[in-house]
Structure 1
């Protein structure tokens, strides 16, 4: 079989904070071609709503990228904002790009805000966008999307009839909500791309599940959950909706105040890129992410790609920086190849090429 050219679909996620999905795909292709230069490699970088969603959608759909200057970062410091204009008046924004955890100077789970996301959305709508796609994931905050909604005109008032501060803890100070100046949702609707199915509240909610990775202590998790519950009682909506807990509850806030539709981000990008149609024509599918673990099958790119491949009876392989769980298909860890996590993270492109070369030797 070694002499028979194969069609190999390469459909990775980004490596958060280090390589875009396109860069990961390019590195895998380079390593594979070192061993099997005659194979047909189809590069289809993916995303699930988190970091890299804007890049992935641009890679498959084109569009015009608009850089708009500074917006409010998650800790209040300015950070550059940009959005993608697609044909038909569609604007794409990515929460991780304006309000993501890596933008924090230090973790501050009770005060971090999504205000910058709302500021960026306002710019896109003022520019004439008639529908909106929002990638939710990688957030620094647990504010229920209150910061974004405040930037869009929602007035969150305390007992002195003053605007409350930004952040999740401040939700407890809200006495009343005034929607009179809230910017209307675009006529073509709002689609939220999520990589989780978590509800807003409780043991499987935004604060309990994702608060620790944002630096929240056990006491702060309880406080944030109570604050989100208070916000939900005032705003209305359905806190139990799957995906309501995405991005610190931003899924809930935008779905409730704007009627936004919550959809699985990995599936949406896969459909947009034509991945589901391409996989049946392939001999092999390679996918990749930073850490393969129990969350990988909960709405993440790699789990979604593996499900598609299994459904079409196409062989698949996983390349991950770390393997914390057996994916039940051929897999390789960059950490194992490099000898340590530190070495793998220091130059992931080099180890991705090495991993892909290993795949090319062992999989065909």
Structure 2
């Protein structure tokens, strides 16, 4: 039996790879001769670097960069050397989880470290980038990243502004005379699943600012500054479009990539599935296994397990899903390619205990074993 396992992470418990390995352990108990291919899965957010780097045979890198609070941190990204490709998550250098709740203030957080990650990869020979931009702590319009790449962001006296959103208030000119020359040879595939513009009621300040610590008065200020920033960018680069879908992603980092680099915004799950050649593996599978931490009605709204299921159904393959828990409205998943789904919870317990990695791993292994024992009986009723 050929089995493809492509399970999204069980957030807070297991990474995509760990979940896949746990399911594979249980399946092999039931079907010792099974031929299993584990493909880590992600949607452009947390876990994308691991999923793509491991799934494509790359190597993980670490580099010291400037964190969101302008303090040094260690960030990780992946390199596929033969393809000269780097795989990154902006959250590794500027993510909201790097900022304690009591210190969250998008006026002062910066994307400078994202630019430093890019520089490190470029110096190591990379010219192609796949970057997930979810989970940001910033609202600087990508200003910090651009400064790290050599863009001079100047006030009305010709002096450099600082690296954060507060600097946008003083921004008067953009000078690209000292930009890293290699940037023009680089391509960027940006994993982005939001469609918000840069400014306005649906822009990054209004929609995402509150979760980053911005009160109403700060939101209106930042929105005005980003509007002015966009006007300056448009004067220098006529193609700049603050209304482009996704321009407001990651506090305006989407706008920076679209305006100042050779970038394309794409669905995160589409990038991962394409780059790991998931469809090629599914086409030769007898059964496909997917899942995520919680299956519910939102799963069908572009989340990874449904993406897997839709590919499987295009090849008439059966699909089984495992989940940490299952909401009542998860039944809709059966209408979108998941033939059967199974919660892995084995006994009454607290949420904290259920999410403990060792417990989640064991529960997933045991559940997968029993499901595949049943499948083996159906395949070989004489046994």
2:231 to 230, 233, 250: 233
Structure ID, larger Rg: 2
In structure 2, the partner of 1:114 is 111
Structure-2 change in CA distance of 1:205 and 1:128 (3 Å): same
Give ranges in structure 1 of 5+ residues lacking alignment: 1-5
Give ranges in structure 2 of 5+ residues lacking alignment: 235-239, 379-383
Normalising by structure 2, we get a TM-score of 0.81
Listed as ranges, the matches of 1:89-238 within 5 Å are 89-106=84-101, 107-184=104-181, 185-236=183-234, 237-238=240-241
The one-character-per-residue Cα deviations of 1:171-212 (angstroms, maximum 9, x if unpaired) are 233222222222242514222222434433344443444444
Structure-2 change in CA distance of 1:292 and 1:220 (3 Å): farther
* Greater displacement, 271-280 / 206-215: 206-215
Structure-2 change in CA distance of 1:113 and 1:194 (3 Å): same
Whole-angstrom CA distance in 2 between matches of 1:72 and 1:128? 21
In structure 2, the partner of 1:24 is 19
The secondary structure found in structure 2 opposite 1:192 is: strand
In structure 1, the partner of 2:237 is none
Listed as ranges, the matches of 1:63-74 within 5 Å are 63-68=58-63, 70-74=64-68
The one-character-per-residue Cα deviations of 1:312-359 (angstroms, maximum 9, x if unpaired) are 333323333454552333334456866443222223323332443454
Structure-2 change in CA distance of 1:151 and 1:12 (3 Å): same
The secondary structure found in structure 2 opposite 1:313 is: coil
Whole-angstrom CA distance in 2 between matches of 1:127 and 1:91? 10
Say whether the 8 Å CA contact 2:9–2:16 is kept in structure 1. yes
Whole-angstrom CA distance in 1 between matches of 2:139 and 2:297? 22
Shift of 1:279: 1.8
2:341 to 325, 331, 334: 331
The secondary structure found in structure 2 opposite 1:81 is: strand
In structure 1, the partner of 2:365 is 353
In structure 2, the partner of 1:275 is 278
1:51 to 42, 46, 52: 46
Whole-angstrom CA distance in 2 between matches of 1:171 and 1:127? 31
Normalising by structure 1, we get a TM-score of 0.85
Say whether the 8 Å CA contact 2:39–2:278 is kept in structure 1. yes
Alignment partner of 1:13 is 2:8 = yes
The one-character-per-residue Cα deviations of 1:255-299 (angstroms, maximum 9, x if unpaired) are 111131222221122122111122233333222333445664555
Alignment partner of 1:77 is 2:71 = yes
1:342 to 352, 356, 364: 352
In structure 1, the partner of 2:313 is 310
The secondary structure found in structure 2 opposite 1:31 is: helix
Whole-angstrom CA distance in 1 between matches of 2:164 and 2:41? 31
In structure 2, the partner of 1:3 is none
CA-atom RMSD in angstroms: 2.9
Number of residue-to-residue matches in the alignment:
358
